[in-house]
């Protein structure tokens, strides 16, 4: 079993997330890829984040027609803040030691890894996949992985080996300069959201007047 886990606030999910996930699924030959909306994101202002159920529903709508894409509400099953270390421990236990688990993060998120709870231990639990993202530098990734996390760079900087034996893959996916922040801003201004996110999600946002 090759399992991909893609965490995020997904407020809302957009084509930057979805296209990246699809390219990772294909290139790493994942059997399943789970989108995991954060229930209580530790890095974001709780009152400013759209309710979990609404974000979950938008992810559901976005992945409904994809056989290998699924959504997990695991982070809402815990009462505390949504720390990735807890989520990864849960999936490791659930899947067994032999499963190949790939935790997918954007380059911007990986560059802040030192602010994550127990970040050193994350790399003992699973492999990582880092998605390229416009506006963030690959050199900074090398610096963090090689100097702070003591990884060895291989394959022209496309692959990093952690001392734990786990791997960190860099993926130069199609760079789509789309963010949820931009979508929320456009919605607040009553501007078009077309072609930035799945049509079903766009209609959901308009129907429920989200982000107005």
Rule CB under 6 A: say whether 111 interacts with ligand ATP: no
Rounded to the nearest 5°, which phi and psi values hold at 2? -110, 110
**Binding marks (x or -) toward ligand ATP, 126..165, rule CB under 6 A?**
-----x-x--------------------------------
Rule CB under 6 A: say whether 9 interacts with ligand ATP: yes
Strand order in the sheet with 32-37: 69-71, 32-37, 2-8, 100-106, 127-131, 167-171, 159-161, 152-154
Q: What is the spatial distance between Cα 123 and Cα 119, in angstroms, rounded to a whole number?
A: 8
Rule CB under 6 A: say whether 109 interacts with ligand ATP: yes
Retrieve residue 137's tokens. Answer: 């530098």
Contact between 144 and 185 (Cβ < 8 Å): no
- The nearest distance, CB 97 to ligand ATP, in angstroms, is 26
CA distances from 36 to 31, 57, 79, 81, 163 (A): 16, 12, 16, 14, 27
- The nearest distance, CB 50 to ligand ATP, in angstroms, is 10
- Given candidates 33, 105, 122, 149, which one binds ligand ATP under the rule CB under 6 A? 105
Retrieve residue 117's tokens. Answer: 């709870």
Q: What is the spatial distance between Cα 68 and Cα 32, in angstroms, rounded to a whole number?
A: 5
Contact between 40 and 74 (Cβ < 8 Å): no
Chain centroid to CA 147: how far?
24
Q: Kindly write down the DSSP assignment for every residue of 182-211, as one continuous string.
A: HHHHHHHTT---TTTS-HHHHHHHHHTTTT
Rule CB under 6 A: say whether 198 interacts with ligand ATP: no
Write out the binding residues for ligand ATP, residues 163-182 only, by CB under 6 A. Answer: 176, 178-181
Smaller CB separation from ligand ATP, 116 or 151:
116
Q: Which stretch binds ligand ATP (CB under 6 A): 14-22, 26-34, 57-65, 191-199?
A: 14-22
Rounded to the nearest 5°, which phi and psi values hold at 173? -70, 170
Smaller CB separation from ligand ATP, 144 or 176:
176
Smaller CB separation from ligand ATP, 10 or 52:
10
Q: Which residue is nearest to ligand ATP (CB)?
A: 106
Q: Which stretch binds ligand ATP (CB under 6 A): 6-14, 86-94, 137-145, 150-158?
A: 6-14
Write out the binding residues for ligand ATP, residues 20-49 only, by CB under 6 A. Answer: 20
Contact footprint for ligand ATP (CB under 6 A):
8-11, 16-17, 20, 105-106, 108-109, 131, 133, 176, 178-181
């Amino acid at each position: 079993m090759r399992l991909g886990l893609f965490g995020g606030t997904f407020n809302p999910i957009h084509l930057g997330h979805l296209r990246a996930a699809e390219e990772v699924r294909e290139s790493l030959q994942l059997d399943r890829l789970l989108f995991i909306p954060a229930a209580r994101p530790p890095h974001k202002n709780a009152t400013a984040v759209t309710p979990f159920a609404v974000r979950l529903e938008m992810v559901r709508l976005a992945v409904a027609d994809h056989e290998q894409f699924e959504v997990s509400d695991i982070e809402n099953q815990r009462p505390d803040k949504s720390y990735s270390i807890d989520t990864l421990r849960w999936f490791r236990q659930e899947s067994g030691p032999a499963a190949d688990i790939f935790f997918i993060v954007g380059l911007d998120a990986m560059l802040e890894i030192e602010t994550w709870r127990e970040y050193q231990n994350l790399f003992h639990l699973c492999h990582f996949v880092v998605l390229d993202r416009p506006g963030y530098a690959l050199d900074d990734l090398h610096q963090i992985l090689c100097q702070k996390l003591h990884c060895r760079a291989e394959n022209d900087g496309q692959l990093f080996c952690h001392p734990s034996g786990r791997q960190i893959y860099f993926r130069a996916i199609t760079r789509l300069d789309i963010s949820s922040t931009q979508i929320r801003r456009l919605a607040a201004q009553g501007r078009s959201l077309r072609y930035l996110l799945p049509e079903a999600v766009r209609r959901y946002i308009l129907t429920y007047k989200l982000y107005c």
